[in-house]
């Protein structure tokens, strides 16, 4: 006597669960579609770069030696900023970058894991010893943006920050070697 | 009963005097409320995600 309503209830519960599972599946598919669509049409992707560097010697020679740090405009017009993150400062402390132009940030560390973000933008990456962190971006507004270390790196972590100076095309003037520094402003 | 004797298993459903018809009537409406509650919670989370994605993440521009 009681088997029939029980069976109906079971069927109803199963139907509800399948409907709910379908709804969740639609949500997951929609979320993934939004991420893929944005990546393909707006060029917004998680920064990804696997490039090894020796943390013990990176400051002695090569790309991250002192004279190569800061912003460089190459002969073909590409803008690259090279930054060393070290306990407890960024070198250079102020980075001048242009507004409305694609820029590449390249970072390395000789000591421990650091992380950077630039406030008000999507720039956000870890800087891991032994690897070069690289982020491509384009700034849409001029001004000074704070760039703190966001990965606890020691007792001085809270004092570790830099400034990104986003300059208009008029202000962003490379010198004869293609270098741009904040002091020019 | 001696204290070291195992007690018989206690099944409250066997002893309850729940009316099957009343139970069915309740189960017809209670899961609907749970579904509405869960649906509303999921809808709020999805709306929050979309609001942050469209109003904060996308305007912050290109990164890769």
Q: Do B61 and A140 touch (CB under 8 A)?
A: yes
Q: Is residue B10 part of a domain?
A: no
Q: Which residue has the higher pLDDT, A2 or A76?
A: A76
Domain assignment present for residue B17? The answer is no
Determine the 3-state secondary structure of A80 from DSSP. strand
Q: What is the mean pLDDT of chain A?
A: 92
| Preceding peptide of A26 cis, ω within 30° | no
What is the predicted pLDDT for the residue at A185?
52
Q: Are strands A133-138 and A124-127 parallel, antiparallel or unpaired?
A: unpaired
Answer yes or no: is pLDDT of A24 > 70. yes
Q: How much is the pLDDT for B8?
A: 62
What mean pLDDT is predicted for residues A29-39? 93
What pLDDT digit, counting tens, does each position of A67-80 carry?
A: 999 999 999 999 99
Of B27, B38, B62, the CB nearest to A42: B62
| B16 part of a folded domain | no
Mapping DSSP to helix (H, G, I), strand (E, B) and coil, where does residue B11 land?
Answer: coil
Joined tokens for residue A123: 């720039």
Which of A9, A42, A138 is the closest to B24 by Cβ?
A: A9
Q: Kindly list the residues of chain B whose beta carbon comes within 8 Å of any beta carbon in chain A.
A: 20, 24, 27, 31, 35, 38-39, 42, 46, 49, 53, 57-58, 60-64
Quick check: A42 and B27 CB within 8 A? no
User: Do B24 and A38 lie within an 8 Å CB cutoff?
Assistant: no
Q: How many domains does chain B have?
A: 1
Q: How confident is the model at residue B15 (pLDDT cuts 50, 70, 90)?
A: low
User: Which CATH architecture is the domain A66-184 placed in?
Assistant: Sandwich (2.60)
> CB–CB of B62 and A137 under 8 A?
yes
What average pLDDT does range B27-53 have in this prediction?
87
A95-150 pLDDT tens trace: 999 999 999 999 999 999 999 999 999 999 999 999 999 999 999 999 999 999 99
The CA-based diameter of chain A, rounded to the nearest angstrom, is 94
User: Quick one: CA dihedral A55, A61, A66, A68, positive or negative?
Assistant: negative
Q: Is residue B51 part of a domain?
A: yes
Domain contains B19:
no
Q: Which two tokens stand for residue A87?
A: 């306990």
Q: Are A131 and A53 in contact (CB under 8 A)?
A: yes
Average confidence (pLDDT) over A79-85: 97
Distance (Å, rounded) from C-alpha A110 to C-alpha A66?
13
In a domain, B2, yes or no: no
- Residue B60 located in a structural domain: yes
Considering the domain boundaries, does residue B48 fall inside one?
A: yes
Which range marks the domain in which residue B61 is found?
A: 30-64
Contact A160, A114 (CB under 8 A): yes
On the 0-12 / 13-18 / 19+ scale of CB atoms within 10 A, B40 is exposed
Best of A4, A21, A44, A124 to mutate (most B CBs within 10 Å, chain B): A44
Location of structure tokens 């993150």? A85
């Amino acid at each position: 006597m009681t088997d029939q309503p029980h069976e109906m209830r079971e069927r109803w519960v199963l139907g509800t669960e399948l409907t709910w599972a379908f709804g969740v599946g639609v949500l997951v598919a929609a979320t993934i579609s939004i991420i893929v669509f944005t990546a393909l049409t707006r060029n917004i992707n998680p920064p990804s770069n696997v490039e090894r560097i020796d943390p013990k010697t990176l400051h002695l020679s090569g790309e991250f030696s002192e004279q190569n740090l800061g912003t460089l405009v190459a002969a073909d017009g590409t803008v690259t900023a090279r930054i060393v993150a070290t306990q407890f400062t960024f070198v250079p402390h102020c980075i001048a970058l242009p507004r409305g132009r694609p820029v590449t940030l390249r970072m390395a560390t000789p000591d421990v894991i650091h992380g950077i973000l630039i406030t008000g933008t999507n720039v956000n990456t870890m800087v891991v010893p032994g690897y070069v962190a690289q982020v491509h971006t384009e700034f849409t507004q001029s001004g000074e943006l704070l760039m703190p270390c966001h990965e606890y790196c020691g007792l001085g972590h809270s004092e570790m920050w830099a400034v990104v100076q986003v300059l208009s095309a008029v202000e962003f003037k490379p010198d004869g070697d293609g270098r741009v520094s904040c002091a020019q402003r | 009963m001696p204290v070291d004797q195992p007690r018989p298993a206690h099944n409250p459903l066997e002893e309850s005097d729940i009316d099957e018809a009343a139970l069915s009537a309740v189960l017809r409406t209670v899961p609907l409320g749970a579904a509405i509650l869960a649906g509303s919670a999921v809808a709020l989370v999805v709306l929050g995600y979309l609001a942050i994605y469209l109003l904060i993440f996308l305007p912050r521009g290109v990164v890769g």
